[in-house]
Amino acid sequence: MATTQPSTSAALSALGEPFKSDFLCSPNEGNAAEVFGIDVVTITVGRKSKPFIVHKKLLCDPCEFFSKAFNSGFKEGKTGVIDFPDVDHDVMFAFCCWLYYDFKLPDSEEKASAASPYIERYLLPLFVFADRLCLNEFMNKLIDSLQDFQRKHKQHLCASLTRRIFEEVGPHSKLHMYFVADFATWEVMNDDLSSRFLWDFHKELNKNRDLDKTHYFFWKYHSRKLYLRGLYKMWRRNGSRSYGQCFCHTHGEGEICHFDYRV
């Protein structure tokens, strides 16, 4: 069963050393006991079963999967432990950062040149994990962070990520659509195949039919180009040449976008 631990700081310290240079976090506000509760559970990840001690309430409130696991007669409910042998330590740490803090991608100049490795190492595995748990708000904030990063550095996504994106993320995923749209922007800007990026991407088109012109968003984007002669960029969240702040979000019935929480 879940154990009782009144100390919030003890559970936070059990998460280990934070990604000081990789994540920018701002603490949640409010009464700690009300937000966190006092019961904690353990999540183990990887082949070595690295443990993460997390407040049960904070974990279960936003996630039906964890709520059912820890509030039932299943083994996890009795032991207070759940195991994810296929989840990386860094992914779980970042997930815990989202639970306890406000998750963001790095926002520094020196990270700009390493955008693709960072996306491949952190954002994509995080998105796959969030999709697995049906955590819409987490997926939405990951895409928002990607938009923020691209908007600041004016940097398009690398074609080398294409294969992994479409192997691990379903064709109806908003991240799937985001990558297709970003490629469309590149094609509109270059308008030919002289760019090495476009050449690599078109090679991927031949391998991944989901990326071809059968994808509705691909056609929708180019029809706007033909009729409006405008350039829509996915990192634009507002304005006449954007698709709106929630276009790449996933919202369930009755869910309110986190942007609408802002006063």
| Residue ranges covered by each domain of the chain | 1-100
The pTM of the full predicted model, rounded to 2 decimals, is 0.70
pLDDT, residue 261, reads 64
Paired tokens of 159: 């074609």
Q: Which of 8-17, 52-61, 197-206 has the lowest mean pLDDT?
A: 8-17
Residues 28, 106 contacting (CB under 8 angstroms)? no
What is the dihedral sign for C-alpha 21, 130, 30, 39? negative
Q: Decide: helix, strand or coil at residue 133.
A: coil
Can you tell me the distance from the alpha carbon of 99 to that of 22, in angstroms, rounded to the nearest whole number? 17
Q: Would you place residue 24 in the very low, low, confident or very high pLDDT band (cuts 50, 70, 90)?
A: very low
Q: Would you place residue 79 in the very low, low, confident or very high pLDDT band (cuts 50, 70, 90)?
A: very high
Can you tell me the distance from the alpha carbon of 12 to that of 97, in angstroms, rounded to the nearest whole number? 10
Decide if pLDDT at 230 tops 70: no
Paired tokens of 191: 């308008």
Q: Does domain 1-100 have CATH number 3.30.70?
A: no
